[in-house]
Structure 1
């Protein structure tokens, strides 16, 4: 980013207008598909001018993508410091403990996604570009549970960066399918368990018969 861009992004007026636009797009997409949302309606709802919109975004779709990422980021629960330690004092994490930690970490996010299901599906359907999916994968990769995940990676011998991308991509598509199926009658708690089992199954070697 250039020095001029850095100064602009730090300008309180620039930040206020960005927040207003993101809030406006979020509110509108909460109620209707993106196809019915124009730039004129967004700027009127945000209380800014059309040129101000173009200072931030090229289109409503781009604004909706950033609104979805901002909403997800704000809702993502802060990590419990206890979950960050991949090697607790009482010894390495067991497979069951890794699975439980991933499940606990995933549950609040799934609850949030289900609570705002229409919004997220409208953004996926109206602005679901390849770049947006790349951003979602990068977002998930940066927020996968560090302690439990690192413990699982060490046990599997996998490359952390590669496994983060593979896991984030798989998790993203599983969750999207879950949302599209109206959660299939499956509660977030059940889905969190599915995700945790899938992650541990991919990362960890199969248990021996004696382990069951």
Structure 2
């Protein structure tokens, strides 16, 4: 649970990153904006790149809020996933400049790594492919991170492009990327068992 000081810093930082490049933000300016002391900032975040990453991941978590869907039939899976992915992408797209700034600035690698971890956890716990990943032949965390990394790269590329494809088109791409990576892919039998079944 975030402390009041942490919330104040993240709120102030998110507002600053909506309008500025990370290189233009200083700890002095941030703590003044948040109404906290420098020692408070250092105790919570340690440095600006970590704070940038936490702000981006907090906003990302907000985009995913309320979209958990686990219990659906196989036939419902593609449509239910498409709807949730479209809504999430729509919310992420509203802050495309923010994400582009944070990913290209100090702490960008922390943002990307954190996004992969966050999405891997979401895939395992809050989506219809979670049970499939958990039943697969590879450790679920490894499979989920592999799929999450592909999705994060695809979405960050989309957020950073000037002529973004419509949300609906990207939602289909992301849905298919997830489904086809898992169903018949990471959640399928081992290659040796596939060969035995086909002979």
Which sits farther off after the overlay, 152-161 or 57-66?
152-161
Compute the TM-score of the two structures, normalised by the length of structure 1. Answer: 0.76
1:105 partnered with 2:93: no
Query: Could you tell me which residue of structure 1 aligns to residue 151 of structure 2?
Result: 171
Cα distance change of structure 1 residues 162 and 105 upon mapping to structure 2, 3 Å threshold: same
Which sits farther off after the overlay, 167-176 or 67-76?
67-76
Aligned-partner SS, 2:128: helix
1:53 partnered with 2:53: no
Query: Could you tell me which residue of structure 2 aligns to residue 18 of structure 1?
Result: 6
Compute the TM-score of the two structures, normalised by the length of structure 2. Answer: 0.81
1:136 partnered with 2:101: no
Of residues 144, 161, 180 in structure 2, which corresponds to 1:181? 161
Cα distance change of structure 1 residues 150 and 40 upon mapping to structure 2, 3 Å threshold: closer
Provide the rounded CA distance (Å) in 2 between the counterparts of 1:139 and 1:147. 13
Of residues 101, 122, 144 in structure 2, which corresponds to 1:122? 101
Cα distance change of structure 1 residues 164 and 41 upon mapping to structure 2, 3 Å threshold: same
- Alpha-carbon displacement from aligned partner over 1:60-92 (angstroms, at most 9, x marks no partner): 221111111111112313135xx3225x4xxxx
Provide the rounded CA distance (Å) in 2 between the counterparts of 1:200 and 1:106. 12
Cα distance change of structure 1 residues 154 and 32 upon mapping to structure 2, 3 Å threshold: closer
Query: Could you tell me which residue of structure 2 aligns to residue 210 of structure 1?
Result: none
Of residues 84, 100, 125 in structure 1, which corresponds to 2:70? 84
Cα distance change of structure 1 residues 142 and 40 upon mapping to structure 2, 3 Å threshold: same
Q: Is the 8 A contact 2:63 2:92 kept in 1?
A: no
Deviation at 1:198, TM superposition (A): 1.7
Cα distance change of structure 1 residues 57 and 154 upon mapping to structure 2, 3 Å threshold: closer
Cα distance change of structure 1 residues 203 and 158 upon mapping to structure 2, 3 Å threshold: farther
Deviation at 1:159, TM superposition (A): 4.8
Q: What's the C-alpha RMSD, in Å, of the aligned pairs?
A: 2.4
Aligned-partner SS, 1:75: helix
Provide the rounded CA distance (Å) in 1 between the counterparts of 2:20 and 2:108. 19
Q: Is the 8 A contact 2:22 2:105 kept in 1?
A: yes
Provide the rounded CA distance (Å) in 2 between the counterparts of 1:120 and 1:70. 12
Query: Could you tell me which residue of structure 2 aligns to residue 6 of structure 1?
Result: none
1:71 partnered with 2:64: no
Of residues 14, 17, 20 in structure 2, which corresponds to 1:29? 17
Query: Could you tell me which residue of structure 1 aligns to residue 169 of structure 2?
Result: 190
What count of residue pairs does the alignment treat as equivalent? Answer: 184
